[in-house]
Amino acid sequence: MTGVDILVYADRIGGDLRALRELLTTELVGFAGVHILPFFTPFDGDDAGFDPTDHTVVDSRLGTWADVRALADDGFEVTADLIVNHVSADSPEFRDWLAQGAHSEHEGMFLTFDRVFGGHATEAGITAFYRPRPGLPFTAYQQADGTRRLVWTTFMPSQVDLDVQHPAGEAYLRRVIRTLADGGVRTVRIDAVGYAIKTVGTDSFMTDETLEYVRHLAALCHEAGMRVLVEVHAHYTQQQRIAPLVDLVYDFALPALLLHSLVARTSDRLARWLDIRPANAITVLDTHDGIGIIDAGPVTTGGRELPGLIDHAEMAAVFAAASAATDGESDRASVIPAWCDLPHQINATFYSALGRDDDAYLLCRAVQLFVPGEPQIYYVGLLAGVDDVDLWRSTGQGRDINRHRYTHAEVVEALDRPVVRALRGLVRLRSRHPAFGGEFSWRQTGTAGLELDWVNGDAGAVLTVDLAERHVEIVLRDADGQRRLTGVEEIIDA
């Protein structure tokens, strides 16, 4: 039976690694694992830690590797990020390359324009590349001798792309992998690998060449004794393609389909997904990024459109509903990538995207915790957090709307709210009830209903939801008899 994990920034809930450990063993007790978002040096760079200057060192303001190992020693399965696509432009390696050029020991580690195009770039070739931001993925840097180099920067100008296929790039990643394993990390999340391999003539996102590289990188992580989770926001068929190559993928389609189902008052798209979703999935509703809607939508590739689990108009309806629920803040905070007419993610907390509706929120969390897979709950979601508009306006980073910095007093206050207590009841249920160690089945009930059923011998757990009425009912069967739970107040005691 699989427990439930929590996804956190050490500095945004607790303050540092030791305080986080204290929280997880006291007020937030009950989680089987913890995914600590980048805690490397620095944890507070331009992209909230996803732009490390040193990927092998714990930022001293958060603690040390001993603090990470202490969490593992407590029995938590620790997950950490392997940031594959890029490093900070302030990293010692990049600075040395700018200073020494071809004489640097890091020559070849960073991906340049010429390395990909070889002097044969065309307008069509350059504009074919997919980028999750407006504009083109290059930044000009000048080396000490005056040579100007055009470096790939897929995400931000301060995040310089690695040439992961060059020996210098691979040596760097091998060093990071070994450090993570030695530090007590048992699952590694491979971040942004979908962009890592640039192939002329394609959009260079999750191509066949990318999949071959994922296979190679997963083998390196397995050699170090770690499980591999791949993070890819893309068409649902990409998750199906990559799932056999690694230990875990994210079920990013689930939150989009739940939002669609509540808007459309139907369960048919969710029902279809339950038939075809990968079994080795981390189930989420929210993460440190936005709520991915592209994951359930259509995509145009190679001149043809692949239909989605929902269509373009239905995607637009989900964005519109979130905008209405957040008084337009999700629209203002979300980014429209190059060559697109809709954002690929909603930047909002999941609770805010539902208009702070406790019943709808509990319904979505119940579905998340009942579908097969390994459930993971983001710290803001655990506390039913609302949009931090002040934070995102102060930083200019739309995703910061869902990255609130909690004081201890705010955590204690949130934990006393009925909707949060009910969610923790669902976490206890998913972690402890024997039915979840058994067999899963499901059926659609009417136009807007679903029934999710777990059976393990004499133990059973059945979730029935009505997406039109936003109604939840749970029936539990175990050695103590049968219980029926409905609504927030009853599920608190699950």
Residues annotated as part of the active site? 191, 231
Q: How buried is 410 (Cβ within 10 angstroms: 0-12 exposed, 13-18 middle, 19+ buried)?
A: middle
Question: DSSP state, 158?
Answer: T
What is the rounded end-to-end Cα distance, in angstroms, of the chain? 17
Q: How far is CA 55 from CA 87, 231, 378, in A?
A: 8, 18, 23
- The half-sphere exposure of 94 on its side-chain side, counting CA atoms within 13 A, is 26
User: Contact at 8 Å (CB) between 1 and 454?
Assistant: no
In angstroms, rounded to a whole number, what is the distance separating the alpha carbons of residues 278 and 295?
Answer: 14
Q: State which amino acid sits at residue 96.
A: D
Q: How far is CA 3 from CA 163, 327, 372, 456, in A?
A: 37, 36, 12, 16
- Give the max Cα distance, the chain: 78
Cβ-based neighbours of 393, under 8 Å, separated by 6 or more: none
Which residue, chain included where needed, has tokens 């060059």?
166
In 3D space, the residue among 79, 76, 68 whose CA is nearest the CA of residue 28 turns out to be: 76
3-state helix, strand, coil in the chain (%, to 5): 40, 20, 40
What sign has the CA pseudo-torsion 16, 19, 24, 28? negative
In 3D space, the residue among 253, 266, 270 whose CA is nearest the CA of residue 467 turns out to be: 266
Cα angle value 286/291/295 (rounded, 5°): 115
**What does the block give as tokens for 263?**
């808007």
Please, what is the angle between helix 208-223 and helix 167-182, to 10°?
40
In angstroms, rounded to a whole number, what is the distance separating the alpha carbons of residues 473 and 359?
Answer: 11
In angstroms, rounded to a whole number, what is the distance separating the alpha carbons of residues 209 and 198?
Answer: 9
In 3D space, the residue among 176, 330, 332 whose CA is nearest the CA of residue 259 turns out to be: 330
User: Contact at 8 Å (CB) between 246 and 228?
Assistant: yes
What sign has the CA pseudo-torsion 8, 13, 17, 19? negative
